Structure formats: C-alpha cells, structure tokens
Amino acid sequence: MSQPISPMTSRQRVLAALRREPVDRTPVCNPTSVATVELMDLADAFFPEANRIPEKMANLAETSYTELGFDTIMPVFSIIQESSALGCKIQWEQKDNWPTVKMREPIWRDVEDIRIPPDLLTHPDTACVTEAIRILRRRHGDEVAIIGKTMGPWSLAYHGFGVEPFLLMALDDPGKTMQVLERLKEVTIAYGLAQIEAGADALTLPDHATGDLVSADYYRRFLKELHAEFAARLPVPIILHICGRTVDRMPYIAETGMAAFHFDSKNRPDESMAAVCGHCALVGNINNPETLFARDPEQVEAEVLANLEAGIHLVGPECAIPLQTSIENLRAIPRAVRAWHSAGGGARCHHHDHSHNNG
Amino acid sequence: MGHVLELGRRVALQPMDAHCHDITVALYRDLAPGGTPFYAFHSYSCHPDAGLRLDFLAAAACHLGGMVASGARAHAVAWPCGAAHLSATRRLFVEVCKLAGPALPALRPPEADEARSGARYHVEGLGAGRYRLSADAPGDMSVRLRTIAGGFGKLAEMAVDEAAGPAVAFPCGHDHDRLVALLLPRALNARAAMREEESVAGRGVLVAPSAQNQPN
C-alpha cells in the first residue's frame, strides 16, 4: 500500500517526477516557453529584449511560476541563443513574434567550416541565459525548478547548414553527417554545463529529429548514442524535446538514459506511455495550436485529464506556446491538475515506478 | 510587476497596438451581476498612456458600434439589447484598434461604394433588428446582394432572409444601426476581413521545420 506523500515544493516535485519517484501531485512543467504578449506587458519585459537582456529574460520567465502557477521556470524562450553565438544570422523580430535563425543564409557548407568560437559561453546571447538563471536562482532559491535549454547537434546543424542541405547530407553522406554531429555535440555539452553551473536544475535538449523529416531508423543511427552521451555527461535530468509524431522512436529514446521526453500532442498519451515502457518520464502534451491557442479552458482541462489518466509524469504544453495564447487557458492547466488530485486522482498518481534515472 | 486578474474569457487580442507604444490590448467577456454579458478592454501594460488608450477604445466602441458603457468594470462596454453578439464585438474590436485617437471619427453612413463594380450599397432599417440591403447599380444585383448578406452573417452572426430583398436580422430583435453601418464595407468582402483577423492571430505561432524551413 502506498504511503501518503508529504507536501513538496515545486522544485522537489519536478525533480522527483523526472526521477519517476512518487510525488504529492503531478507537476506542471514548461520545458519550452510559456511566454505570451500579455505576460510581456505584465512583466514589462518584451521580445526581442527578453531574449537578450538577462533581467528582462528572468522577469518574463518567472511569470510561469508567479502568475500561471506552473512548477517550473524556463528562461530560454527561443532556440537561437547558441546559434547566435556560433555566428548564425538572426532575425530578432519584435514583441509578437519569435526570433529565428535565417537558415536561408547558412554559415557552413562542410564539416571543416564548423568553428566553435572561443566566446561561445561569453557571447551576449549565451551569457544572457546563464545570467538569467543566476538571477532566478537568487530570487527563488529552492522553491521552484529552473530549467535551462541546450540545443542538440541535429538542430544546430539545421541552423548552420540550413534544413534542406543538412537533410540531403544525411542522405548522401552519413559519415560526414556523423562528423558534423560529433563536432556540434561539444556545443551542446558546453552550453548545458554552463547553465548547470549557473543553477539550472534540469535541461531541455531540443533536437529536431521530427517525425515528418527524420525516420525512426535515422534517429537510431545518428542520434541515439549521442543522446545517451548527453545523458551521461550532463549531470542533471535531461528532457529531450522533439516535435511531431515520434512514438515510433520513443522506445529508442527511452534507452538513452534521458530523464524525460517532451512529447507532442500528435502522440496519444497512452500509446506514448506504452512506447517508453517505464524507462523515462514523459512531459507534455497539451496541444498548442488548436487547444491552448484557439479553444477555451474547458477543452484545455479535458486534455490535462487525458494525460493524468494515462499516468503522464509531468503535464504541460507540447512545445513553445503561441505568443497570443490566453492567460486563462494556461492557468487552466495547473487548476485541472489540482482538481484531479483533490478528487482522488492523486492516489493513482503515486504509482510512478521508483527507478532512478539520470541524476 | 503586475498580477494576473480574473477578467472572464478573453475573446479578442491586439498583440501590438501601433497607436500606443505597442502595448497589448485584449477584450474580455464577462457577466454582470444580473447575468448580462459585457466586454472589457484591458491591458497589462504599465505604460502611462495605456489607460487613456483603453478609455479611447471603449469610447470608440460605443460611438462607432452603438455599444454603451457598462459600470461593471473599468473600460467595460455592453450591447444595449443585452445580447452578447460575440462575432460582431470581435469585429468591432478590430475596427476600433485601427483608430489612432484621441478624436472619435465621424459615424459611418449606412452605405458603401464598391470600386470594382462601381455600385453603391445601402442598408435600410426595417425595425426589430432587421435591415434590407439594396444597390444603386445597373443590372441585376441580386446575387451580389445575397453574397453581401452572407458577409453580414459571417461577421455578425446575422440571419439572412433572402426573400426580403435580401435582408439581414439580428437574433436579439433589436436595432443596431451604427454597427450595421460600420460592418457594411467589410461585408462587401467578408473573406478579406476574416483573413485580416486570421493574419494578426497567426503571428507568434511556431511552425514545424518542414513547413517553414525554420525548426523550433
């Protein structure tokens, strides 16, 4: 018979769930971004400055905890910080849109072109993140889980080579592709370690081997071992993030030692739980474009319940939410989680297996 | 830092107000104590001009759309008939957010010209929330008028009575002359008006790498 769980802080709850240990309630987690234009006004911290100025980044990021009631703070809203430091051209955009890498202006054509600059970690756009993490840790102590983000080599290769050229390289020259990934993995490691040193409790590691671009076999051949290496070398729980339909590669992901997989709503919670077979936690998978963005809190709550009933370890949006998402839809997530536990759903929640995973 | 407020259901958003320092303005729907729906303009911005901007937008909604001030909340407005008219209110929000202020513009006449056809279209109130559409143009305009009536249906959830001219009607049974005059130019090309709304709403939504060549 399971013992009642003492009340946990948000940080304790998240870290326990990432280890698949018992929790007092299912944590609400944002491994990517929950920034919105309304929260930018509220925090007086706007894109693009909130992606480039540590204080602004911290002010906007902490609203997920202070205003929305999530158990995590994720200050790395975008996916371009280290790519900027690598020399990619960035479209910084404005308040209502995401900064993006100008991938039609690639900076690399071959393996030899890849140069990791000596200022990778001191470049303003990477140092912004580490400084924001330090600010957040000072402000919030051990109350809330602070999650960093370090991009995987597959995504960095998209940024440096362009999506199409890199995918063609993977098709035509697997050996060269592996050399690219081997070089770029050091960026992933270095930036991840810098964020851990700054105070990150866990790291999201997006590596866009998405279902519509990359097959499960490609994942196994090119990325599985690299991801296992990240799990071994980065001494905090790692949350792998891949968009799209990925249930076919989840069994491979579950064997990498990653603490968790941040999964898309294109994958049903129950089939995803079956696919990882208890070997890693699952985080997600509330739909962004249809539910969080375009529907009402009742539909959000219904998706939250479907995840809770399936035993998903940490509930949250499937990816970075649209910047125009309503605050009431975001607040519906923790509200639904608490209501479910109050109604007795928590008894089923404590079943998470007790095997430890990745720090 | 401010704090999130319980404002009801957000029904429309202007993410960057070009006429007020790029603040975000939202329209929230809530119910007054008697159960009557009202809408409140709101911004979380702490910019010193934000309050004046919200004053203007609420006033413009009353002036151009025929809404009335509601005492339920700051910057709150409601329809005098007590109905929600959600689609029409959303469209009115889009229209007033386009105005620079602070002066209120002239009221729209119940007619609109169409450059493409050279036609002039009219809406004529029939009472009890019904309006007849007509056109000053050579030839048979009945098909075009039916299309415009359909535009009113899309923009303001009005019922279309093709036998009467055609005519359109508000389900509340009350007249909304200013709103109908405001909507007429948009009803001439309702599809473009709706595309405009979708275009604003689509900004800030991440797109899959395969769709945009930009992984996120």
Would the CB atoms of B44 and A39 count as touching at under 8 Å? yes
Question: For position A154, what pLDDT does the model report?
Answer: 95
Question: What's the mean pLDDT when you consider all of chain A?
Answer: 93
pLDDT-derived band at A353 (thresholds 50, 70, 90) equals: very low
pLDDT at A355: 38
Alpha-carbon dihedral sign for residues A60, A65, A70, A74: positive
Q: Mean pLDDT score of chain B, rounded to an integer? A: 90
CA dist., res. A111 & res. A29, Å (int): 37
Helix (H, G, I), strand (E, B) or coil at B14: strand
Looking at CA atoms only, how far is residue A46 from chain B in angstroms? 10
Q: CB–CB of A44 and B3 under 8 A?
A: no
**pLDDT for A8 beyond 60:** yes
Residues B142 and B181 in one domain: yes
Q: How far is CA A243 from CA A229, A259, A285, A302, B216, in A?
A: 21, 17, 10, 21, 8
| Residues forming a β-bridge with B132 | B124, B167
State whether residue A238 is helix, strand or coil: strand
Q: Which one is predicted more confidently, A305 or B197?
A: A305
Verify that B89 and B115 share a domain, yes or no. no
Residue at B80 is within a domain: yes
Say if residue B14 is in the same domain as residue B93: yes
In angstroms and rounded to an integer, the radius of gyration of the C-alpha atoms of chain B is 19
Q: Is B61 exposed, middle or buried (0-12, 13-18, 19+ CB in 10 A)?
A: buried
Report domain extents, chain A.
Answer: 10-349
Q: A97 versus B213: which is more confidently predicted?
A: A97
Residue B42 domain-assigned (yes or no):
yes
**What is the strand order of the sheet B37-42 is part of?**
B9-17, B23-31, B37-42, B76-78, B68-69
pLDDT score, position A351 = 47
Model confidence at B161, pLDDT cuts 50, 70, 90, reads confident
Model pLDDT, residue B164: 67
Give the minimum alpha-carbon distance from A201 to chain B in angstroms, rounded to a whole number: 23
Is B195 a member of any domain?
Answer: no
Contacts of B1 in chain A (CB under 8 A): 42-44, 59, 63, 66
Q: State whether residue B172 sits within 8 Å of chain A by CB.
A: no
- The answer to whether residue B2 is domain-embedded is no
Q: Does some domain include residue B4? A: no
pLDDT for residue B190: 83
Is B199 part of the contact surface with chain A (CB cutoff 8 Å)?
A: no
Evaluate whether residue B173 is within a structural domain. Answer: yes
Does residue A245 or residue A354 have the better pLDDT? Answer: A245
B123 and B87 part of one domain? no
Q: Taking residues A218-223, report their average pLDDT.
A: 93
Q: What would the mean pLDDT of A163-188 be, rounded to a whole number?
A: 95
Given B205, B208, B216, which is nearest A293 (Cβ)? Answer: B205
Q: Residue A86 has what pLDDT?
A: 97
State whether B206 and A103 contact (CB < 8 Å): no
Q: Are residues B21 and B92 in the same domain?
A: yes
Quote the percentage of chain A above a pLDDT of 70. Answer: 95
pLDDT surpasses 60 at B202 = yes
pLDDT at residue A335 in the model: 97
The reply to whether B198 touches chain A by the CB within 8 Å rule is: no
pLDDT of residue B207: 66
Q: Which domain holds residue B46?
A: 9-97
Q: Which of A346, A341, A336, A281 is nearest to A314 (CA)?
A: A281
Contact between B136 and B122 under an 8 Å Cβ cutoff? The reply is yes
In chain B, pLDDT over 90 holds for what percent of residues? Answer: 73
Give the pLDDT confidence of A252-268 residue by residue, as tens digits: 999 999 999 999 999 99
- What architecture is domain A10-349? Alpha-Beta Barrel (3.20)
Contacts of B205 in chain A (CB under 8 A): 288-289, 293, 322-324
Instruction: Give B45-91 pLDDT, tens digit per residue.
Output: 999 999 999 999 999 999 999 999 998 899 999 999 999 999 999 99
- Find residue A315's DSSP bridge partners: A28, A284
Q: What is the total count of domains within chain B? A: 2
**Which pLDDT band holds residue B214 (cuts at 50, 70, 90)?**
very low
Per the omega criterion (within 30 degrees of 0), is the bond before B33 cis? Answer: no
Q: Does A163 touch chain B (CB under 8 A)?
A: yes
